[in-house]
A and B are shown apart, each in its own frame.
Chain A
Amino acid sequence: MTMIGWLQIALFFLAVLVTIKPLGLYMARVFAGERTALSPVLGRLEADLYRISGISPNKEQGWLAYTASMLAFSVAGFLALYAILRLQAHLPLNPQGFAGMAPDLAFNTAVSFVTNTNWQNYGGETTLSHFSQMAGLTVQNFLSAATGMALAMALTRAFVRSKAATLGNFWVDMTRAVLYVLLPMAIVVALAFVAMGLPQTLDGAVTATTLEGASQTIALGPVASQEAIKQLGTNGGGFFNVNAAHPFENPTTFSNYLNIFAMLSISAALVYTFGQLVGNRRQGWAIISAMAILLIAGVAAIYWAEAAGNPVLTALGVDAAAGNMEGKEVRFGQAMTALYAAVTTGLSDGGVNGMHGSFTGLGGLVPMFLMQLGEVLPGGVGSGLYGMLVFALLSVFVSGLMVGRTPEFLGKKIEGREMKYAMLAVLVLPLAILGFTAISAMLPLAVASIGTAGPHGLSEILYAYTSAAANNGSAFGGLTGNTVWYNTTLGIAMLLGRFAYVVPVMAIAGSLAAKVKVPPSSGTFPTDGPLFVGLLIGIILILGGLQFFPALALGPIVEHLAMLAGQTF
């Protein structure tokens, strides 16, 4: 670990901190339906869109209608993307002449992008046409992110309103998220990426002759535009197979900074938006603090584990001073790789700029654990906020009992019905992750896909299902995921992680909105102070730890302990 490394990390978090408030306030205006600086430009377009699609923007929906609209929209998005992937050979903008995707891979990919996961069982530059990348994947990058934001805003309104039957209009929330937040930011970031040297072209690959005289195919395409929304929407699905480790996706330290910044900015600011809309900015900051503390701890843990190096390699004569550089790009180094790895997994982004599977046991455990905590640090755009609010409800429930009152959060009493739906949501992650991992670990056809025997192999499977169920999308590396078994089960895990989670959350929103907003008294436990932050962190860690400790013990923990003992598998 170096001073420069720590400074780079500190500078990054400082930059995010500065943007939280202005961006958060801007989004609060957007989702409150108020006029914004962009309204003169986009207002007409927005109104036209509603008129064409027959939506009356002032008609609000109850939680069921809101959820049903979201599900219908997602199903439609899935079908459209599936069709594009299967039929890409017959569609335009296919300079390389790629064939259509196999059904199981197309299912996996379509689910992956609709659920904002972006797990990729394919290599983009060798499988997909420009049309598939742009009209298929990039469109879903926008829409799945906007869907998450809409859902988070619906839940937010449940805390704002008193005795309300409605939570807003899904179509309006989603449209405004795309028009006023994602699209303008994506344009700015894409242009910045182009300036930093990312390709943006509709041409196919070029062939170069290397110094040795060999012929090399260099893939090109509309990279900058996809990269921008991939990060802003915490999607993470890269244009290239190796994602942001590829020099065309992430050529320099500056592009690396912009990558991480773009993925963190909206999710973090959306928490501020929450605080602003519920009329308690301190509440927003309290939740942001809890997220930040855990995320920074994650960065530090990875940085420390990787900088400590691998004694097995040291014994083979590798210079220990550089730490463990396996799987890392030298242009980024330890600190920037650790930062990227923690942020991409603390968020549900899933882009990578190094190979997580090549980290030390502990260094690989942290990204996995950050996802297992439920993708709330600060999680995917929107999904992180509503996930965090479920944890907040659980924290408030336990703490409310401990102060001798029926628990309440932001004036809403948390009772049996909310607990029931919250537990249903919380059950999804362990069920999908542990269930599929255990089955795959026992199934010879699934075990055949792993790249390394022993605990590391188990980590590969565990990481894959964790990444899928948490809708992260990053890969550990090593696992051959493009099989019927993994395409199907990972797809199911992604569906569960997104929809089986969010439907109970929306039920909570419906139930909370209908309740009276109780004014706080000094007997109410204040949820915007350091005590609550500590409690929230404690609940997240204990719940996550209790669920996944045994699995982690058999994977990365034993791997790390064995590495320290000089043992390999």
Chain B
Amino acid sequence: MSKDHHAPGLLDPAILLPAARDAFAKLDPRQLVRNPVIFVTEAVAAVVTVLFLRDLVTGSAQAGFSGQIAAWLWFTVLFATFAEAVAEGRGRAQADSLKRTKSELVARRRTASGTVETVPATSLAIGDIVLVAAGELIPGDGEVIEGVASVNESAITGESAPVIRESGGDRSAVTGGTQVLSDEITVKITVAPGSSFVDRMIALIEGAQRQKTPNEIALSILLSGLTLIFLFVCVAIWGLAGYSGTVLTVTVLAALLVTLIPTTIGGLLSAIGIAGMDRLVRFNVIATSGRAVEAAGDVDTLLLDKTGTITFGNRMASDFLPAPGVSPSDLAEAALLASLSDETPEGRSIVALATGEFSVAMPRVRFDAVIEFTAETRLSGIDLGGRRLRKGAVDAVLRFAGLQEDDAPAEFRRAVETIARSGGTPLAVADGSRLLGVIHLKDIVKPGIKERFAALRAMGIRTVMVTGDNPVTAAAIASEAGVDDFLAQATPEDKLAYIRREQQGGRLIAMCGDGTNDAPALAQADVGVAMQTGTQAAREAANMVDLDSSPTKLIEIVEIGKQLLMTRGSLTTFSIANDVAKYFAIIPALFVATYPALDALNIMHLASPQSAILSAVIFNALIIVALIPLALRGVAYRPAGAAALLRRNLLVYGLGGLVLPFAGIKAIDLAVSALNLV
């Protein structure tokens, strides 16, 4: 699997230069009004600019100061728009390459009369039938109705190994822009041009379709409320100052307002959202909306298919249990010989176990006869120099050996029973009439999956295994894999009912699936992830598509969702905590002339009132730039309980946000006074 996980470097000039240009374009107030905090900042910057021009015209001594404040207020706005532009720029490169493949598409459409005409792909309609031969690009999303072909989907998935697409079944969906490598298929177009998968992908990556997610809206309300409060505060200060005999200029009040309103999180909010989607894309997952990504962070229950997700797809030999009087190595050797010509995964796993754990040398022998497995005999094996080695279903092998079930040794029967009860499959091995023992075939749980479930549990997420196995087998695998619950002998209806039941209790459910019969459950789930290899119906029903078709991807998706919220929350806390230091910089600066005693509040010992105010404004602007990498990368996430996460983030971003600006403003003040800026 090729994973394009490495993001472009944070300082990639190919992204930064266009972003700097876009940052200016985004100053348009009609666009900025979507972001109230930054919009207020821009309005204030405009007012101070006018005042600066007035100072300049009147030749006021204040011009130098108000000019610098105005400049830094504009920088504050620009840094915010720049952050958004950078976040968008990182997705754009990928979108551009997708667009290129799309624009060149042509289709060979079958007309009503049965002839074939060549038309541009953009003129295709739903229901059109197109032919695609080897070497051609599939012109639109659709379903294979005739033929089978290998298709290169690397344009979408980044995965270079071709996949098989065939009519009927769960592998019938094809995506526009992918290339047929062999054979010819007939495709029925199921999606109108402009809303195809690639189009959706482009729109999402570019952020054009970006709407505020519910959580983002709630946070925006909090930030707008705080902005309003600080607006009151600043207006009131003007009145209170008047009483105290201090005349405050609009410039210093503007500076105070902008430093107090949450510009840090306000400026980075949309960049965080875009970067979250972008991170998902880099994990080769396409989400249809930001809402789905956010919901992923909230998921309470994960529904995972057993096969391929929790266990390897096939049963494998895990042990040899010899009958009385047979040595383990004899049994292993017999099992090995009986399986040498068995090319099924089970057979190969028996060979691997015998030569591996049981150290049987690979024999170089010539068989007299190979007995293939059939549904009637239910056993297979070889004849070799008078030895008639067989392995297979226990009753079939017993019959082959000429034994009644009661004739088998008690130890053998016990072994068979134990294996069956543990959810495994017993395979008996016999040499002629001599019963040698049992092979334990079982579902092998993927290594490391138990730890992942433990991590999910620490995050408060229950995992539920869905399987068609009987309850006994399911329970055994469930306990081995460490899932919290399982759904045995599950039909698609069972899945749907289970999801509904959980949702009734207020839980959010995520699941992944690929078959058409998964579609209702995918649509019902709060987060439904369809495999790229899955059917069109599944892909339509889901709100995310995993291009790698890896069922464990759900776990990463949940983490990305959580990281997105955490980044917002942490930067909000940081932004608010910053205000304390700004008060200690600006309030004494404003009033020390009237009340010299207030210099006691100047605990940073800033050089002069003007340098204090300017330093606070500069810090406020620069902190946005400094935090762009964090906003794009997301705050560090480790699976842990909520209390542990909160404690850590409060310490880093709450306490850090309280302390850092004291040091930062002091440092800037030293620089400002060293350079004689005011």
Contact = CB atoms under 8 A, between A and B. Distances in A.
Interface in B259-273: 260
Contact of B225 (A423, A435, A439, A549): A423
Contact of B236 (A414, A416, A434, A524): A434
Interface string B219-247: 10110110011101101111111111000
Contact of A546 (B506, B583, B601, B645): B583
Contact of A531 (B236, B597, B643): B643
B460 A523 contact: yes
B99 to A, nearest CB: 34
A554 B241 contact: yes
Contacts of A320: none
Contacts of A89: none
B164 to A, nearest CB: 39
A458 interface: yes
Nearest to A546: B579
Contacts of A402: 566, 569-570, 573, 645-646, 649-650, 653
B239 A442 contact: yes
A517 B219 CA distance: 22
A405 B232 contact: no
A420 B580 CA distance: 25
A308 interface: no
A545 B230 CA distance: 12
Contacts of B642: 403, 405, 522-526
B598 A553 contact: yes
Contacts of B468: none
A535 B232 contact: no
Chain B residues touching A, majority SS: helix
Nearest to B566: A404
A516 B508 CA distance: 12
Nearest to A450: B243
A542 B577 CA distance: 8
Interface residues of B, number: 72
Nearest to A441: B243
Contact of B562 (A405, A424, A518, A519): A405
B459 A523 contact: yes
Interface in A114-139: none
A550 B242 CA distance: 13
Contacts of A405: 297-298, 562, 565, 642
A550 B221 contact: no
A565 interface: yes
Interface stretch (A196-204, A374-382, A392-400): A392-400
A416 B230 CA distance: 21
A557 B588 CA distance: 11
B591 A553 contact: yes
Nearest to B637: A404
Given A404-B561, A406-B298, A558-B591, A419 B221 contact: yes
Nearest to A565: B597
Nearest to A462: B240
A401 B244 contact: no
Interface string A541-569: 01001110111011001100110110100
6 contacts: A398-B572, A403-B645, A405-B298, A434-B236, A458-B244, A545-B580
Interface of A: 162, 394, 397-406, 411, 414-416, 418-420, 423-424, 426-427, 430-431, 434-435, 437-439, 441-442, 447, 455, 457-458, 516-519, 521-526, 529, 531, 535, 538, 542, 545-547, 549-551, 553-554, 557-558, 561-562, 564-565, 567
Interface of B: 214-215, 217-219, 221-222, 224-225, 228-230, 232-233, 235-244, 260, 294, 297-298, 300, 457-462, 505-507, 561-566, 568-570, 572-573, 576-577, 579-580, 583, 587, 591, 595, 597-598, 600-601, 637, 641-643, 645-647, 649-650, 653-654
Given A404-B561, A553-B587, 14 more contacts: A401-B569, A402-B566, A402-B645, A403-B566, A403-B646, A414-B218, A419-B221, A521-B461, A523-B642, A531-B646, A546-B233, A549-B583, A550-B587, A562-B595
10 pairs of A and B residues whose beta carbons are closest in the complex: A523-B460, A401-B569, A438-B239, A404-B562, A423-B225, A441-B243, A434-B236, A518-B506, A561-B597, A521-B460
